[in-house]
Chain A
Amino acid sequence: AQTVTQSQPEMSVQEAETVTLSCTYDTSESDYYLFWYKQPPSRQMILVIRQEAYKQQNATENRFSVNFQKAAKSFSLKISDSQLGDAAMYFCAYRTVNDMRFGAGTRLTVKP
């Protein structure tokens, strides 16, 4: 079964600085999709970025980018120029045919 591991339960970053959240996954499949979701205190799950495994180019969405290392099964999220509104739980997820598997999450605190 596919598993997703986020080894950092909590992270903090100074406003305007850069932070990287780690994620590793385990799979025997060659084609799949990876995602990062943000969950602010409102509880809403918000899609931040997605990566297709067959694409070597790392995905980027404004201040958010990923470092996708397929051979290492690593999928980290980099947040540049951190803002107070980035404070949230962040979940890494792996998409299978029948469901999406989530990591346990990383709580990000942004210090002013």
Chain B
Amino acid sequence: DAGITQSPRHKVTETGTPVTLRCHQTENHRYMYWYRQDPGHGLRLIHYSYGVKDTDKGEVSDGYSVSRSKTEDFLLTLESATSSQTSVYFCAISESVTGQGYTFGSGTRLTVV
């Protein structure tokens, strides 16, 4: 979707290294989310944000941190990457907390070796 971009699209990293994924939106939406997608689990929420510097943990937040210093950017950091964090990561945005579906980025495939 043109209003939300994720970078990088693919990344291979080594166990124990820090990794940061970036989500950038041009829609000026207040709410932003990070999910991970794994076979058999669908998408699971890692962290979310309801405004600049306002973030909270989701269902699978261990080993991850986030930051949101500007409305348009939401960063996901794997503090010390592990093989269990090999996954596809999606960022999503929403204008409100109810009603609307999310708009998703195109995902980042992260492989931890």
Binding site for B on A (CB under 8 A): 4, 6, 33, 35, 37, 42-45, 47, 50, 52, 91, 93, 95, 97-100, 102-105
Beta-carbon contact of A33 and B43 below 8 Å = no
Among B13-21, B63-71, B79-87, B98-106, the stretch that binds chain A is B98-106
Residues of B within 8 Å of A47, CB to CB, are 101
CA of A43 to CA of B35 in the docked complex: distance in angstroms?
14
| A95 touching B98, Cβ below 8 Å | yes
Cβ-neighbour of A44 out of B43, B48, B106 (below 8 A): B106
Which residues of chain B are near A50, meaning CB under 8 Å?
Answer: 101
- Given A4-B42, A47-B101, 4 more pairs with CB closer than 8 A: A50-B101, A98-B58, A99-B48, A102-B43
Q: State whether the Cβ of B56 lies closer than 8 Å to any Cβ in chain A.
A: yes
- B residues whose Cβ falls under 8 Å from a Cβ of A: 1, 33, 40-45, 48, 56, 58-59, 88, 90, 92, 97-99, 101-102, 104, 106-107, 109
Question: Within 8 Å CB of B109, what residues of A?
Answer: 43
Query: A25 to B109, alpha carbons, bound, how many Å?
Result: 29
- The reply to whether A99 and B40 form a contact with Cβ atoms under 8 Å apart is no
CB distance from B98 to the nearest CB of A (A): 7
Contact of A104 among B42, B59, B102, B107 (CB under 8 A): B42
Q: Are B42 and A99 touching (Cβ within 8 A)?
A: no
Counting chain B CB atoms within 10 Å of each CB, the highest count among A33, A52, A99 belongs to: A99
